[in-house]
Amino acid sequence: MHQPQATRDDLSDFFDNAPVGLHFQTEDGRIRQSNHALAELLGSTREQLAGQSFTAFYADSVLAADHLERLRKGEDLNSAEVTLRSREGAERHVLVSASVLRNDGRFIHARVFTREIPALRRAIDALAQADARKAAILDASLDAIITMDAEGRLLDFNRAAESIFGYRRHEAIDRRLSELIIPPRLRAAHEAGLRRFLDSGIGPVIGRRIEVEAMRADGQEFPVELSIAVVHGAPPMFTATLRDVTERLRAERELQEALQALQQSESALRAADRRKDEFIATLAHELRNPLSPVRTAAEILARRGLRPEKIDLAVDVIRRQVSVMSRLLDDLLDVARVARGKVELRKELIAVGDVLRLAMQTAQSMLDAKSQRLELQSHVDLDLRLSADPVRLAQVLVNLLTNASKYSDPGQVITLRCCSTGESVLFEVEDRGIGFSSAEAERLFSLFTQLPGSAGRAQGGLGVGLALARSLMQLHGGTLQAHSRGPGQGATFRATLPLPADLH
């Protein structure tokens, strides 16, 4: 039955002027007939399209082959997204739908509908892709990234924020930022700053990188580096990037401490070098001083016909000066032995009285030379036994008495005290000499050290006696401390020696 001519004309007009691309397609993908919309979409004329492969316009050749194979199998295409490339190279994003007409199983043609995806749909898709990219960036960030609305409520909370602050995202969203991560003492300032920005648009922290204190879920406060950006709108939103700088600040502190330690070491090395130079100069001076009287005495002895008393005087001068030089050299050797760990104590049980007598006898000549009087105050049984090296312990007391004599005026009284605390014996040497400040107390025990302004009072010495005395006390398991009420107020040196366990 034949269709009326008017009906065929109507159908042809509908096909030609349809707002979507229409075409009939052969089994091998060639266009048999197309309408104006498809020709315009592909930048061609209907005549140019006739006989061309529709799939040749696909930007993706793999997808083109897949669609062609599916149609050959009789499968339908339902709004498949395709990117077509026109003759001029312009890309068009379209939806392709197709069905196959068959007659007794024979492929007659495919009816293909092509409509361009609206700009709004493309914009929506592009926005979705942008959101997905943003989410991926946020999740991959090592810094906490938090978005807050104008009321201070959280809109976004990335994985790094979860790790740093200890909240899960669903726990944080819609909660106020100030209640979540800001320490209580800083919340009022945060709220005031937010209100000020909303009222005036002025925010002193906006666009800056600052360090502030933040708070974890367990209440622990820690330092963060913070930067805030405004997402302008009505109302605005705020995105904050926070980085935990705990380790960085710790590393900076350690570096600063290391630099300070290095500077102190350099200063100590310079001071040691300066003391070494001073020591060498002092040593040369101290060794030359005794040589002058020795040389004079030697010249006297070289004369003939000397009276015996003259000879005795010259010999006494030589003996005294040799003794001075011997003490200087002995102190130097002892300091070197202690520094190298070569000093071995020969301990034995000795009486306190024996140590005191040995020390007083050794130091008496120097005190006599300055008309100084040594006063002994003993508050302990002089037969009390100590476990010590008698020679080295007496050497400690001699060094303390010698030091007291040097820094005291002629005619002064120097006191040597001894008492027991039950577990230890305490020896004290007290003078009424030049004294020192509390800041200088420990310096006295440094090698080759003499206090400022003391050089004229010391009357010789290398500044090793007190250092040696403390080292010997430490070898005995004891201590040596210096005390003074201040310059001009005299000094007291206290040596403490533990008693043997069976004598406590």
The residue extents of the domains of the chain are 5-117, 123-244, 249-335, 344-503
d(C-alpha 491, C-alpha 473), whole Å: 19
Work out the mean pLDDT of the chain and round it to a whole number: 86
Protein fold of 249-335: Helix Hairpins (1.10.287)
With a cut of 60, say whether residue 458 has pLDDT above it. Answer: no
Residue 267 CB-half CA count within 13 A:
6
More confidently predicted of 361 and 328: 361
Q: Which of 154, 179, 151, 153 is nearest to 235 (CA)?
A: 151
**Residues 463, 448: contact at Cβ < 8 Å?**
yes
* Average of per-residue pLDDT across 251-276: 88
* Average of per-residue pLDDT across 314-343: 75
**Residues 150, 235: contact at Cβ < 8 Å?**
yes
pLDDT bracket for residue 1 (50, 70, 90)? very low
pLDDT bracket for residue 89 (50, 70, 90)? confident
Same fold, 123-244 and 249-335: no
Q: How far is CA 342 from CA 77, 334, 470, 476, in A?
A: 100, 9, 16, 14
User: For residue 61, what pLDDT is reported?
Assistant: 93
User: For residue 26, what pLDDT is reported?
Assistant: 94
Residue with tokens 């048999």: 32
d(C-alpha 332, C-alpha 468), whole Å: 9
d(C-alpha 245, C-alpha 251), whole Å: 10
User: For residue 448, what pLDDT is reported?
Assistant: 66
Please give the structure tokens belonging to residue 118.
């609206």
Cβ-based burial of 156 (10 A; exposed 0-12, middle 13-18, buried ≥19): middle
* Average of per-residue pLDDT across 403-428: 93
User: For residue 336, what pLDDT is reported?
Assistant: 73
More confidently predicted of 503 and 415: 415
User: For residue 12, what pLDDT is reported?
Assistant: 86
Residue percentage of the chain with pLDDT more than 70: 90
The β-bridge relationship of strands 154-157 and 31-34 is: unpaired
Q: Give the total residue count for the chain.
A: 504
Angle at which helix 465-475 crosses helix 390-406, to 10 degrees, equals 150
* Average of per-residue pLDDT across 80-108: 90
Report the SS3 class of residue 245: coil
CATH architecture of 123-244: 2-Layer Sandwich (3.30)
Which CATH superfamily includes the segment(s) 344-503?
Histidine kinase-like ATPase, C-terminal domain (3.30.565.10)
pLDDT bracket for residue 139 (50, 70, 90)? confident
d(C-alpha 315, C-alpha 90), whole Å: 122
* Average of per-residue pLDDT across 189-205: 85
Protein fold of 5-117: Beta-Lactamase (3.30.450)
* Average of per-residue pLDDT across 34-51: 93
